[in-house]
Structure 1
């Protein structure tokens, strides 16, 4: 890591913000799973860009602003025609991106539009771990989706996640309770984001997104809480054969659309992002 990079991120400490947590109710997840539907959330982590998202001709996310994490939507299994327009330019115009998405039953995932380590807009699909946690425990997942170098995540001043790079994630089980956490440059005590108190309730999975841009001094945290981990969910178990294996292959194919469309998304978002930075 260069001296310039460290100075850039260190200078953002005073400008960082902590977004309010978005909780995913256990009832919403269990209902979707019992009905054989998918549960899908979308996180918008590209600063300075507002879009409208359409699915099968219907406006799904109007005026979708940076820093927004949607509540999980129970979706029927099937194929969805997704169109993304710059804010106010749809649905009769030419979409900036159009993609058919196969949504399998039982999937629990979050799609994140964010910046890569170099500051270029990109799209990443994350599968949310809804497996059971032990009594008295909680799951903590940290996702690095910021234009920033490698970081360590500390809880109570001690590193619990080391050398995390964009766009990777790290999960661990920890004792339930309130934890004071911050994000520092990897291998240093230089705070990039935080500190912030995280309420890790028993039987929940808390996902923390580190997003924004170090260069633009707008690094921030966003948290997502998924409940119901204290009992085994009715999700799709990987490694099964027959129908289960078919569902897992469908889930993989669905998540793969983000990689296939990343270049198209990046082209749109990069132009809009650079225009916003130039204003």
Structure 2
């Protein structure tokens, strides 16, 4: 059984992005190519120290634009636009240091106050997840420490992050009756546990009943099961692959939750954004056209 612990997306050229575009692409290029590359020169060191990603887990909060800013110097090192409910970004390689993650509604004015602002300390070799959760009137943030250690052959490693707003405490079992996580409060994560790899049918139990959801946990993967809300107020679950293999850099594309105000799934276009800056203005135009045809994450 997984034991509970204490509470411990694609880039887009926007009106907020002009001053941080070059730095954003510097982060996207190594992420899209799957290789470890030094971050932008304005970062605090020449080599990436750790990684961070962001998750939008507030079901009644509209799509948001996200910026990650280095506390030292104030440079925008990464940004995402139109991040919808249930979306979890790629891991962003970052130099060691303190960063501020800010979220504003996607349709807000340029000088709008963030609805979420959270500082995060990035350490060498330490991946983190920064999540905004709760109802819009009472938004909160939490930083989870991720562990991407590889599982044994034929197994997967998994944890549960409880982000439901309709059930304050949730237990997760397999449909066959095997307990996965018991009494997990909203805004908290369980420890990782080794499990048999494969497709699972889950029962998500709260005070008002049981909902079902299916997840796939590939062999050799490290995953997080996010407990989310559906538009009808029931529970659902989404498995996000934190790392499919043991590598220098975490891997995994944009994954989205299955309920709430989520829309259509958004195509990951980080590689297109990187290529746009490399090939020049013509490719930027192509990227903008491609971005307009993509759906929202959901």
Same fold (TM over 0.5): yes
Separation in 2 of the partners of 1:103 and 1:65? 25
Higher strand share goes to which structure? 1
Distance 1:97 1:233, change over 3 A: closer
Aligned counterpart for 2:36 among listed residues 31, 34, 42: 31
Distance 1:61 1:137, change over 3 A: same
Can you list the C-alpha shifts for 1:1-49, whole angstroms capped at 9, x where unaligned? xxxxxxxxxxxxxxxxxxxxxxxx9984x7379x533222211011122
Aligned counterpart for 2:151 among listed residues 118, 133, 141: 133
SS of the residue corresponding to residue 164 of structure 2 reads strand
SS of the residue corresponding to residue 67 of structure 1 reads coil
Corresponding residue for residue 259 of structure 2: none
Distance 1:36 1:209, change over 3 A: same
Matches within 5 A, 1:260-279: none
Matches within 5 A, 1:130-279: 130-147=148-165, 148-158=167-177, 159-170=179-190, 171-185=192-206, 190-192=209-211, 194-196=212-214, 198-212=215-229, 217=233, 219-228=235-244, 231=246
SS of the residue corresponding to residue 47 of structure 1 reads coil
SS of the residue corresponding to residue 125 of structure 2 reads coil
SS of the residue corresponding to residue 135 of structure 1 reads coil
Conserved? CA contact 1:85–1:91, under 8 Å: no
Aligned counterpart for 1:61 among listed residues 80, 98, 102: 80
* TM-score, structure 1 as length reference: 0.60
Distance 1:43 1:94, change over 3 A: closer
Separation in 2 of the partners of 1:132 and 1:161? 21
Unaligned 5+ residue runs, structure 2?
1-30, 39-46, 70-74, 251-298
SS of the residue corresponding to residue 140 of structure 1 reads strand
Offset of residue 232 of structure 1: 8.3
Offset of residue 137 of structure 1: 1.3
Conserved? CA contact 1:46–1:212, under 8 Å: no
Offset of residue 173 of structure 1: 0.9
Higher helix share goes to which structure? 1
Conserved? CA contact 2:228–2:237, under 8 Å: yes
Separation in 1 of the partners of 2:147 and 2:98? 23
* TM-score, structure 2 as length reference: 0.56
Separation in 1 of the partners of 2:119 and 2:105? 19
Separation in 1 of the partners of 2:117 and 2:204? 36
Offset of residue 181 of structure 1: 1.6
Conserved? CA contact 1:80–1:103, under 8 Å: yes
